[in-house]
């Protein structure tokens, strides 16, 4: 007999309950658990008109102390009290699944260790790609390969904003306001537009692929607030688009380089063609070269789908999954300094001199667009070590109006 509890009845929590009962017969068949059911829903609010009103509790101890409950789905968000509830449940031998990327990015190594010690599971497919299956393929389907890099559009809000800037010539502020109006962006959009959401997701992917916990403060993170219409227009002239990219790659020295930043992505890359609120994740490896995962990265039922996928796995397993795990890390000595990376850069300047540009950077590619202000020069540099690029840029006369890395993971 397997009973489940859902912690939180917001967008994802209500979607999880709704989708479970919509497909309950199929879910039970796939788990082999004929009595699998949701016994509790934890929320401090009242839901007197809900068809599930008899399942609500405001006391987590009801769930913790009920031996029938073997699976807990945490969909509250934030670190506390979600972490405290999940930790307590794991210590009781109850498997836990979550959509909570912030908690996994901060506490994943610890919670995986506790799950192993108590012969249960901690799963988090919904924390990174929403409905896009990426965690399970990485530790199961692609496990025989040496994963050399992962790069993705991991945040639908920023992708929507950049799409509107590209396709409808919107300014950043106008595109953000539209995203908020449509419910894609929060009133305080910082987690999205400053890159924090994508950072948490690349933490999880990096940790799973390379086996050591990558904490958010290990990752150089830039958002999209400095991107202008001019930058997007120059990207089109160059033959690509601006996207917020979260990535990690293995370096020749054995270290890894995780990073979140806006990037020029050429139209030959599949990531360039992902628009609006959709997400995409490209994985590079020695046995398959390149595969891509694409779909909605958020939303009520898409995220609920991933949560319930983990619930099904937990119901099937009789012990801890040996493949979905990583070790903790005490420092960032296995993380490469992003300034040591070799990268081509887009630069937009005013009042610079072409002769000096070419003397500093060598054979650059100039970009020319209609209606550019007088004295504005935009160019793409050859690939340079980023710290060397910074030195050269600091010596350039004129005003630097913008700079964006060109995506290259090979």
By annotation, the residues acting in catalysis are 201
User: Rounded distance, CA 183 to CA 205, Å?
Assistant: 27
Structure tokens at 261: 């930043």
- Report cis status (omega within 30 of 0) of the bond before 385: no
Q: Note whether 121 and 317 are within 8 A (CB).
A: yes
Q: What contacts 195, CB < 8 A, 6 or more positions away? A: 155, 158, 221, 222, 223, 224, 244, 246, 260, 261
Going by their DSSP bridges, the two strands 399-406 and 345-350 should be labelled as antiparallel
- Give the end-to-end CA distance of the chain in Å, rounded to a whole number: 49
Q: Note whether 39 and 330 are within 8 A (CB).
A: no
Q: What contacts 1, CB < 8 A, 6 or more positions away? A: 33, 35, 68
Going by their DSSP bridges, the two strands 376-380 and 365-367 should be labelled as antiparallel
Three-state SS at 326: coil
- Measured from the Cβ of residue 96, the count of other Cβ atoms closer than 10 Å reads 27
């Amino acid at each position: 007999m397997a009973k489940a509890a859902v912690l939180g009845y917001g967008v994802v929590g209500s979607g999880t309950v709704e989708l479970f009962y919509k497909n309950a017969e199929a879910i039970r068949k796939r788990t082999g658990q004929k009595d699998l059911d949701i016994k509790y829903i934890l929320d401090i609010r009242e839901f007197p008109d809900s068809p599930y009103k008899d399942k609500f509790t405001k006391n987590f101890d009801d769930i913790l102390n009920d031996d029938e409950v073997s699976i807990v789905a945490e969909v509250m968000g934030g670190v506390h009290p979600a972490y405290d509830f999940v930790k307590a449940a794991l210590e009781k031998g109850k498997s836990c699944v979550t959509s909570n990327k912030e908690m996994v990015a901060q506490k994943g190594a610890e919670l995986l260790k506790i799950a192993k010690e108590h012969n249960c599971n901690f799963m988090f497919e919904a924390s990174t790609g929403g409905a896009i299956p990426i965690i399970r393929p990485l530790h199961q389907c692609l496990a025989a390969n040496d994963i050399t890099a992962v790069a993705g559009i991991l945040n639908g809000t920023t992708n929507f904003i950049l799409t509107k800037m590209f396709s409808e010539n919107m300014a950043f502020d106008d595109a953000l306001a539209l995203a908020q109006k449509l419910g894609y962006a929060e009133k305080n959009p910082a987690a999205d537009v400053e890159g924090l959401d994508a950072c948490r997701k690349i933490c999880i992917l990096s940790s799973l692929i390379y086996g050591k916990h990558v904490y958010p403060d290990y990752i150089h993170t830039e958002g999209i607030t400095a991107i202008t219409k001019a930058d997007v227009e120059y990207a089109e002239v160059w033959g690509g688009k601006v996207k917020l990219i979260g990535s990690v790659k293995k370096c020749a020295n054995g270290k890894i380089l995780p990073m979140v930043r806006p990037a020029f992505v050429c139209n030959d890359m599949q990531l360039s063609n992902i628009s609006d609120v959709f997400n995409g994740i490209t994985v590079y490896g020695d046995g398959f070269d390149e595969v891509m995962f694409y779909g909605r990265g958020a939303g009520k039922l898409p995220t609920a789908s991933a949560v319930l996928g983990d619930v099904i796995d937990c119901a099937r397993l009789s012990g801890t999954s040996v493949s979905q795990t990583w070790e903790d890390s005490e420092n960032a000595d296995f993380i490469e300094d992003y300034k040591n990376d070799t990268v081509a850069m887009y630069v937009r300047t005013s009042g610079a001199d072409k002769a000096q540009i070419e003397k500093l950077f060598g054979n650059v590619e100039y970009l020319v667009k209609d209606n550019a202000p007088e004295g504005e020069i935009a160019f793409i540099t050859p690939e340079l070590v980023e710290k060397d690029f910074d030195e050269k840029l600091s010596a350039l006369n004129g005003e630097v109006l913008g700079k964006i890395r060109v995506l290259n993971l090979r």
